[in-house]
């Protein structure tokens, strides 16, 4: 095929690949699909330690059996664990997490700690966000948060800065629009 051939598809961008992976995970991370035991394993696993066997199975289903770089495996472990904490209704496409968190009153100090976190601190802050969101039955576009986590876990500071700004902007633009019961803005 040539470049002009209409059947030639351009390579998928990283963002598209992450969005596809998150969509697939969101549909898989349910007690009906995985069972209560495996879901509990995912919620309890240490994403920076040795992840649960269920995690490896999910990773192989999505990315094949060739190992990902260690920093990407750890980032995906953080993502999968947090999505499992919020499952089954954690993922809503086109609901920016920063906006949802701002509107629901996620504490600004905690949000700032998340934005600055790396390594173990990132895992702790994402888990805290997931538990807080699960307690409020929130749902948002996990692809945006996954891109942020992958960037913060990666080796490219420019990409990490771009993803941090992309993730943070909706929070700070909506921080004064907290929702009160009944869906009205405060």
Q: What pLDDT does 81 receive? A: 96
Q: What pLDDT does 31 receive? A: 85
User: Which of the 8 DSSP states describes residue 154?
Assistant: S
Over residues 95-138, the pLDDT tens digits come to 999 999 999 999 999 999 999 999 999 999 999 999 999 999 99
Q: Are 75 and 150 in contact (CB under 8 A)?
A: yes
Q: What pLDDT does 10 receive? A: 61
Query: 14-174: CATH homologous superfamily?
Result: CRISPR-associated protein Cse2 (1.10.520.40)
Residue 168: CB atoms within 10 A of its CB come to 16
Domain range annotation of the chain: 14-174
Residues of the chain with pLDDT under 50: 1-4, 180-186
Q: Are 160 and 151 in contact (CB under 8 A)?
A: yes
Rounded to 10°, the helix 142-153/119-135 angle is 170
Cis status of the peptide bond prior to 178, with omega within 30 of 0 = no
Q: What pLDDT does 180 receive? A: 46
The three-state secondary structure class of 49 is coil
């Amino acid at each position: 095929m040539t470049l002009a051939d209409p059947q030639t598809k351009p390579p998928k961008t990283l963002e598209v690949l992450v969005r596809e992976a998150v969509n697939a995970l969101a549909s898989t991370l349910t007690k009906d699909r995985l069972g209560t035991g495996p879901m509990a394993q995912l919620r309890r696993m240490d994403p920076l330690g040795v992840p649960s066997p269920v995690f490896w199975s999910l990773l192989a289903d999505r990315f094949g059996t060739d190992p990902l770089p260690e920093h990407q495996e750890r980032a995906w472990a953080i993502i999968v664990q947090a999505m499992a904490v919020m499952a089954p209704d954690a993922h809503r496409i086109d609901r920016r997490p920063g906006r949802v968190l701002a509107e629901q009153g996620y504490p600004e100090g905690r949000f700032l700690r998340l934005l600055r976190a790396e390594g173990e601190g990132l895992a702790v802050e994402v888990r805290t966000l997931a538990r807080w969101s699960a307690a409020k039955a929130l749902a948002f576009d996990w692809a945006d948060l996954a891109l942020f986590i992958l960037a913060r876990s990666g080796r490219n500071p420019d990409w990490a800065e771009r993803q941090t700004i992309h993730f943070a902007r909706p929070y700070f633009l909506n921080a004064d629009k907290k929702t009160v019961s009944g869906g009205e803005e405060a």
